[in-house]
Amino acid sequence: MGRITLDGIEVMARIGLLEEEQKAPQDLYVTLSMECGFETVVANDDLSEGVDYREVIEKVKAFALAYEGKTLERFAEQLADHLMDAFAVDGVRLAVDKPRYTRRLGLREIRVEVER
């Protein structure tokens, strides 16, 4: 069993409780780890039977662009479910950061984390 980690995927999403946050997409950063076996990939040095990082990134970005909601919690839960359905992985752990709102509150970080 192994783990693939993609740190800080920059995405755009319409998300937030405030009306102004819903007007235009804003930056979010998604960090995710997927648990999966890569014995076949290692044995054959061929990614076709494994998880293609580029495909994961594309799916995360497409999900975020299509998303319209209020809370990071819901976004994170739905994205985790989406990734579990889309890829042959045994588990997903992800974190979502919302930097624009974080700066407004004078915080270094607001992060929501979920695990499947």
Closest CA to 51 of 84, 89, 79: 89
Q: Which residue has the higher pLDDT, 45 or 54?
A: 54
- The tens digit of pLDDT for each residue in 51-100 reads 899 999 999 999 999 998 999 999 999 999 999 999 989 999 999 999 87
Phi-psi region of 42 (alpha: psi -120 to 50; beta: other; left: phi over 0): alpha
The pLDDT mean for the chain works out to 91
Spatial CA neighbour of 48 closest among 84, 88, 85? 88
Query: Nearest-CA neighbor of 7 among 65, 41, 57, 63?
Result: 57
More confident residue, 36 or 59: 59
Domains delineated in the chain? 2-115 (3.30.1130.10)
Whole-model pTM? 0.90
Q: How close are the terminal C-alpha atoms of the chain, in Å?
A: 16
Residue 10 structure tokens: 């920059």
Report the alpha-carbon distance of residue 56 to residue 6 in Å, rounded.
9
pLDDT band, very low/low/confident/very high, at 44 (cuts 50, 70, 90): confident
